[in-house]
Amino acid sequence: MHGVPSDYYGPRKAELLVRFLRKFVAPDVTILNSDSAIREFVEEAGTHFPIFIGFGLNETVMSNLAIKYKKKAWFSVASDFSEDVMVQYDFDKIPTLVSIHPIYNDHTISYGPFEEEFCGGIHNTKSSTFGCAR
């Protein structure tokens, strides 16, 4: 990794290997500057990993979380989005963290303000997709 040899413990099947590598080479946090960028990000992320979108959230705050959990979820921050996006993701204040788990067709909304370390962990269960606590 980064020029240093390391053992590979990832998946071996072709489809899973491609998914793993896409996730591995992706930026820690993707910056989304429009409604279409948000839509494309969610579509391209697929259904295998949870998705965190910080609406009006400071990139640095999201980056701290993304570095810790990069292999387990997709992370992004969005700005310049319309009220239609707010309706689609069911929030009415900013900053907001929307966490989506496509496999379970579930999403959670957390309202800010957020501190530097605002999420204690990511819980990946059917009943509680994400366990963010401020």
- All domains of the chain in start order, with CATH: 27-111 (3.40.30.10)
Q: Which of 74, 100, 47 has its CA nearest to residue 65?
A: 74
What's the pLDDT score for residue 95?
94
Query: In the chain, what are the helix, strand and coil shares in percent, each to the nearest 5?
Result: 30, 20, 50
What's the pLDDT score for residue 47?
87
Alpha-carbon distances, residue 108 vs 3, 53, 91, 101 (angstroms):
38, 11, 10, 9
What's the pLDDT score for residue 130?
44
Q: What is the chain's pLDDT, residue by residue, as a tens digit (134 residues)?
A: 567 777 777 677 888 788 777 777 888 999 999 999 999 999 989 888 899 999 998 888 899 889 888 888 999 999 999 999 999 999 999 999 999 999 898 999 999 888 765 555 444 433 344 445 33
Contact 81, 130 (CB under 8 A): no
What's the pLDDT score for residue 21?
78
